[in-house]
Structure 1
Amino acid sequence: MSSQAASGADLKFPAFLARQPILDADERIVGYELLYRDTQHNAATGLDARRATASVIVNTLGIMGLHDVSGGQPVYINFDAADLCDNAAELLPPERVVLEILETATPSAELLARCRDWKRMGYRLALDDFVYRPAWEPFLDVVDIVKLDVRELATAALQAHVRQAKTHGLTVIAEKVEDRGEFEHCRQIGCDAFQGYFFARPEILEDTKLPAAGIALLDLLRRVQDDADPPDLERALSRDTGLLYRLLRYAGSVSFGARPPQNLRSALARLGRRNLQRWLMLELYASARNAGTDPLLDLAGYRAELMTVLAETGRHPLIEVEEACAVGCLSLLDTLLHRPMAQIIDGIALPDAMRTALLAHDGPLGDMLSLMQALEQADTNAVARICGQLGLPAEELPALQARALKAQRQLVEAMGSG
C-alpha cells in the first residue's frame, strides 16, 4: 500500500449506539430499545428527537447491521410524531422493529391516521412513558404495547394503567425498574416485560463511520427526485465510499432478498427509489461535516475514477463501468474500518463479481483492482503482466491516470464548495 494510504489508516470517525435489553417475566431477553449516543459517555446529549432517530437508524442499518445489534430480537426505536409523518420508519423491516412513539408526541387525528397506516404495513407500535389522557383513548385500540414508567406513576396509578391496558389486549412493559422489589411488584400486577437498571444499563456499541460528503448527498437526492436513470444514480453513488458502503450495508441488513443481486443496478433496484430517497434524507439528518479529511478516502476516490476510466476503454466486455467504479470505491474498506474485508463484505448486498474482486482479486474486476495496487506500489513487472491480462496496452496508462486524477480533483473541489 502506498505511503499516502498508510498515513490515513488511523483517522477514524466513530459511530455510537446504545441498547438496553427488555426482559420477560422469566428474565429472558425479548427485545432491545435502541438509544442515541454520540460518545462513549452513557448519556444522550441535547440533540433534537428527529436527528437522534435518524442517527439511530443510520448507525443500526447502515453501519453496525441490524442483526448484529439485535441478536435476532425485536428492536424498539423512538419516533416523534414528525418522524412518523415523514415516512422514515418505512426503511425498517416491520417484522423486526417496534415503532416507539415518544411521550412528547401530541395525540392528534393525523398521528392516529398514521399509526393506522403503520399497522396496515405490519408494524407494531408502542406508546412510551404512557400516562393516560382521554385524547390517547383511540390510540389504545391501534397500538400493541404501552410502556409505563414506574418512577413516575404512583402505586395505585400504575395498577390502574396496567388494568386499563389489559382491557385493550395490550402488552405492558414496566420501565425504569431499579430493584428486585419493583420487579416482583410489577410482575404481580400483570406487567408482561421489564426494562431498567435492575437488569442492565444501556450498553454502548461503537463502530467506525465513513463520512459522506454533504454535496454528494444533495446531488443524489436531486437525481432521485428528478427521476434520473439508474445508470446516472449508479455513477453518482459509486463515487462516495462512505455513502455507498452504508447503503449496501442497509440493503444487506434488512434482507431485500436471500440471493445476492446480479449487479449493482439490481441491488439499488431492490431498495426502490422511495427507500433510496428516505435513506438519503436520513443521512442528511444524521451526518455532520467532519473537520478532517482522510487520505484513504481520497485514495479510494482516485481508485474509483481510474477503474471507471479503465472500464470505459471497453477492452474487457464483461466489465460494467459502474461496478468497476464501485469496486475501486469500496476497495479500502478493510483498512478504513479496521476489520477483515471478508467480515465487512458478509454484511452488505453485493453482486458476486464485485464480492469476488474485493475478497480474492479474482475475475476481470479483481485484475483491475490488482492493477491499482501495482501502480501504487510502482511494481512495473506486475503492471505489465496485469495489463496483458486485461488486453490493455501499458503505454496508454499514463493518459488514463491523468484523466482519472483530473476527475478526482474536480470531485474534491465540488465537495469542498458544498
Structure 2
Amino acid sequence: MLIVANEVSDPICVARQPIYDADGNVFGYELLFRHHVGATSYFNKDANLATQKVIADGFLLAHTGPFHNTSRFFINFTEQLLMEDFAYALPPKKTVVEILERIEPTEKVLAKCRELKSQGYTLAIDDYVGDSRLAAYMDVVDIIKFDVLGKSNQEIYEMARPFLRRKITMLAEKVESAEVMEYAKSLGFKLFQGFYFSRPEMISGKKMSSNESSRIRILSEICNDDINFDRITCIISSDVSLTYRLLRYLNSATFGYNVKIGSIERAATVLGTKKLRKWLAAAILSDTKQSNKAVEASWLAVQRAFFLQILSNRIHLNLTADELFLAGLFSKIDSIFDMPIDTILAELPLAGNVKRAILDAGNPCRNILEFLDHIDDGDWDATEKAASTLSLNVKHVGDAYLEAIRHSSELMSETPVCQPDDGNVVLF
C-alpha cells in the first residue's frame, strides 16, 4: 500500500495488486484508491481536487518494482471521475481505465469511453458477473474482469460463454486456487488476479531445487547469531551477482561516499555485520532467477521488512526493530519458494518470537503482519481497525510506507526509482 499526504484532504491510501498473464508474467497492477483509510463511499464533490492528486501521486508511487517499466496500471473510475476527464492525468499507454459495474452505460458514458479509447487508453469492465445491463459496454471495452470468487466451473463457463469467440480479453479476478485458474485458462482467459498468487502453488510433493536449497542454507547462515565477519564476506565474495549488487548499492547516490568502495571487505566494514546481514537476506530473497510471481513477492517482502523496522518505535510489541525487519522479510517466504512456510522456517535459526509472530495465529505479534496483509489486500475497513488496535496514526503509517518504498527501491532496483528529497537516507 502507498499512502500520500495531501494538503487539501485526509491521507490517501493506494493498494497495488499484481495481474498476471497465462504464463505467469506480470501484465500489470490494479491500484485501489481511497481518499482516506476508512473510505468506502463514492468520491464527493469536495474531494475532486484531492482525488486528482491521488491519481497523480498514487500512479507515480506505484511505478516501482521489478516490472514497473513494462506494466499497465488498472485504475477504478467512478462515473464522476470518468466524465470529468481525470483519466487524462495519466499516460494512455500505461493506463487501463476500469469502469465500475454500477455505472449505467448511458449514451454520454459510452461516448466518453469511445473518446478515451481513441486517445489510446485501454478500457475494462470491473466485477462482471453476467449482468445483461452491461451489454452495451462490450463493443467499447478491451478487457472484461470476471468475478470468479465462489463460482463453480459451470457458472464460470456460463458467464464467459458469450465472449469465447469475441476479440475481447477475459480476466479472472478473485482467483483463490490453482484449480480455478487452470479451468479459466482452459476456457481462454488470458489474465488473472487474486489471492492465489500470493500463496504457494504446490503444498504437497514439492522438492527444493539445488538452487533453492543453497539459498536456504545461506539464509540459515546469516540468521545465525554466531556468524562472523569473515564468513559473511566469504558468502558474498563467492557470488558474482551479489558482489556486483552490493558494490553498486553502496556506490549509489543515496550514500554519497566521496571515495568509491571497490572491495567486499571495504563494503562490509562500511556497513557493519548487522546491516550487511540484512542486506544479504533481502538480496537472496530477490534472486532474479525466480518466477515472476516469486520476484513480485520478494519485492513485497523487502518493502514489508523496511516498513515494520521504520515503525518499530511506534509498535508496542515484544519485538525489536531487527526482529520486526526479519518478521516482515520472511512473512512472504512461502510465496517465494512455493512451499509451506512452517517447512521453510524450520530450516532457519530465527529467534523464537520472530517465528511465533509469523506462524502463531494467536500471538499478539501476529497482529502487525495481519495489518500488513489488510494493507496489501486493499481492505480499508480492516486496515483502519487494525491500525486502531495497534495504536498507529495513519500519518505515521503513511510516512513509514513512503520511506519503505524508497529504501526497497534503492536496494532492489537496477536503477533507483524513488529518491528521497534530501538524497541522504540512513538504512537499517
Range of TM-score over shorter length? 0.3 to 0.5
> Looking at CA atoms only, which structure, 1 or 2, has the larger radius of gyration?
1
